[in-house]
């Protein structure tokens, strides 16, 4: 045990007084000049001690400041600092490193770093360790870390082998660890955005497009099940799913509520009543002040069990079926798909693990949902445009036929008028018993039937103008859609 400085000084004085008692000096025999000299020496010695004491205090202050700077630079650094043995055993670590691994520093010392690395990255760390000690050059790698009782994260490791200050033969590994999870997420988000935009621009079939996008979202999010609902009449059935059981889809496919008479229940505005949390999102029954809703109308939770235990149906804005929780899904997100001001569907993400969702990821997926909404709206417009274009082509064909029929009818009518007129003159000049009378009568009757047909053709050509005007309207509509 260290002695108190005050106690040490007191003991020193006691020892000094004991020495004086054992060897007493007679001051009366000392001359006055010697006494003056003695006082001078004592005074100088006192000043020297005070100066030394001041220097000691200054040195102590500098030492404390140096220690504080060391604490700030080492323990409070934005990256984790580790010192490892050749076998990967941790012998030194700063506070940031301990925070990254989710355990107290004193409990980490003399443990192995590999126990905090996911199994699939163990070999990467092993080769990294060997390469550092073999090359004695700075090496980097990326590892997926698994903190104690926390969510895994990506880390960038930078290491260099260094000799021990006390033993030159012993070599340690100086290692820094940086959490690059946000960087990895940003890269993944960027890749997903590019992939989805590429799908939107290359694929024309809606079903194939939606299927590919849902698979991309599932791979990106790592969620167990992903699906998309799209408006169909009054309901919003699943359009495509991946990971949900057939029983779940069959049970949850329809959201509309029916009365005892089998008819759909409707609200005061005439819209169908939609059940469950999906109905809340699709009907915009969300409140951003509640922690499980976002400002853009999405729903998300880390734990459906905790949500049901801590909220009421009033908090959740409506009666919920709780089918997701019943199936064991804890992490759930429902993200609306907008087309202009309307909600035309939603993206659903489910996982039986807790804490699989983050607010920034929900915001990112809201942007993806908006892109899907724009793409679906564009494809709807293009489909309508194709239908109108076909109607325009049909109208133009009818117009061309009408124009041709009108011209032919006029010319043929002129010819028929000559034939009919001459036939009437000849019939007038011959008697009924004349052998020519019967053939001439047949010519006259055929001409009259031909006149009726020509009038029908002229009536058809008169519709040409209406068809032309309709074609003009269709063309204007198509140009507007473009």
Query: pLDDT truncated to tens, each residue of the chain (482 aa)?
Result: 445 555 555 666 676 667 666 655 555 566 677 777 777 777 777 888 888 888 888 877 777 777 677 666 678 788 999 999 988 999 999 999 999 999 998 999 999 999 999 999 999 999 999 999 998 899 999 999 999 877 889 999 999 998 765 555 678 999 999 999 889 989 999 999 999 989 988 888 889 999 999 999 999 999 999 999 999 988 999 999 999 999 999 999 988 888 778 788 887 788 888 888 999 999 888 888 889 999 999 999 999 999 988 887 776 666 677 889 889 999 999 999 998 888 999 999 999 999 889 899 999 999 999 999 988 888 877 777 777 777 777 777 766 766 776 677 777 777 877 887 888 788 778 777 788 778 878 887 887 887 787 777 767 655 554 554 454 554 554 454 45
Q: How far apart, in whole angstroms, are the C-alpha atoms of residue 126 and residue 141?
A: 11
* Sequence-separated (6 or more) residues with CB below 8 Å from residue 214: 226, 227, 228, 240, 241, 242, 347
- Rounded distance, CA 24 to CA 53, Å? 30
- pTM greater than 0.85 (yes/no): no
Q: What pLDDT, on a 0 to 100 scale, did the predictor assign at position 329?
A: 94
CA-nearest of 345, 327, 323, 328 to 336 is 345
Give residue for tokens 């018993």.
433
Classified as helix, coil or strand, 253 is: coil
Residue 419 burial by Cβ neighbours in a 10 Å radius (0-12, 13-18, 19+): middle
Q: At what angle do helices 359-429 and 464-481 cross, to 10 degrees?
A: 170
> Is the C-alpha dihedral spanning 311, 314, 319, 320 positive or negative?
negative
Q: What is the pLDDT of residue 27?
A: 54
Whether the Cβ atoms of residue 68 and residue 75 lie closer than 8 Å to each other: no
**Helix-helix angle 464-481:437-462, to 10 degrees:** 30
- Residue 388: its pLDDT value, please? 72
- Here the contacts of 64-72 (C-beta below 8 Å, separation 24 or greater) are none
Q: Collapsing DSSP states into helix, strand and coil, what is residue 25?
A: coil
Give the Cβ contact number of residue 333 at 10 Å: 26
Q: What pLDDT, on a 0 to 100 scale, did the predictor assign at position 478?
A: 44
Strands 299-301 vs 90-93: parallel, antiparallel or unpaired: unpaired
Q: Which pLDDT score, from 0 to 100, does residue 427 have?
A: 77
Round to the nearest angstrom and report the end-to-end CA distance of the chain.
89
């Amino acid at each position: 045990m260290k002695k108190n400085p005050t106690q040490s000084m007191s003991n020193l004085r006691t020892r000094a007084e004991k020495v004086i008692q054992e060897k007493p000096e007679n001051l009366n025999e000392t001359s006055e000049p010697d006494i003056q000299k003695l006082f001078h020496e004592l005074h100088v010695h006192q000043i020297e001690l005070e100066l030394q004491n001041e220097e000691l205090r200054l040195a102590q202050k500098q030492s404390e400041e140096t220690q504080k700077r060391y604490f700030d630079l080492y323990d409070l650094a934005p990256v984790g600092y580790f010192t490892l043995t050749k076998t990967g055993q941790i012998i030194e670590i700063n506070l940031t490193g301990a925070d990254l691994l989710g355990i107290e520093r004193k409990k980490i010392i003399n443990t192995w770093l590999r126990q905090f690395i996911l199994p699939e990255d163990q070999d990467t760390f092993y080769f990294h360790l060997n390469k550092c000690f073999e090359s004695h050059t700075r090496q980097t790698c990326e590892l997926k870390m698994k903190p104690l009782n926390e969510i895994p994260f990506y880390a960038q490791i930078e290491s260099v082998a260094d000799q021990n200050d006390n033993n030159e033969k012993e070599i340690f590994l100086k290692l820094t660890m940086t959490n690059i999870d946000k960087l990895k997420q940003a890269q993944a988000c960027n890749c997903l955005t590019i992939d989805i935009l590429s799908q939107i621009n290359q694929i024309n079939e809606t079903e194939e497009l939606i299927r590919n996008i849902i698979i991309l979202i599932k791979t990106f999010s790592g969620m167990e099940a992903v699906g998309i609902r799209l408006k169909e009449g009054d309901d919003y059935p699943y359009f495509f799913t991946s990971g949900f059981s057939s029983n779940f889809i069959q049970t949850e496919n329809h959201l509309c509520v029916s009365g005892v008479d089998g008819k759909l229940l409707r609200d005061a505005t005439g819209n169908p009543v939609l059940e469950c949390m999906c109905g809340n999102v699709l009907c915009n029954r969300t409140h951003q002040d509640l922690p499980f809703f976002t400002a853009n109308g999405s729903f998300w939770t880390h734990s459906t069990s905790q949500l049901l235990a801590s909220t009421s149906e009033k908090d959740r804005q409506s009666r919920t079926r709780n089918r997701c929780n019943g199936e064991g899904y804890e992490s759930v997100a429902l993200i609306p798909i907008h087309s202009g001001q309307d909600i035309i569907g939603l993206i659903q993400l489910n996982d039986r693990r807790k804490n699989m969702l983050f607010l920034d990821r929900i915001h990112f997926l809201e942007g993806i949902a908006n892109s899907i909404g724009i793409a679906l709206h564009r494809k709807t417009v293009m489909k309508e445009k194709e239908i109108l274009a076909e109607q325009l082509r049909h109208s133009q064909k009818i117009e061309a036929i009408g124009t041709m029929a009108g011209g032919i009818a006029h010319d043929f009518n002129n010819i028929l008028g000559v034939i009919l007129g001459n036939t009437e003159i000849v019939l007038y000049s011959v008697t009924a018993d004349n052998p020519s009378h019967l053939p001439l009568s047949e010519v006259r009757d055929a001409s009259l039937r031909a006149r009726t047909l020509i009038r029908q053709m002229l009536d058809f050509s008169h519709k040409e103008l209406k068809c032309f005007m309709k074609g003009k309207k269709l063309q204007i509509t198509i140009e507007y859609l473009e």
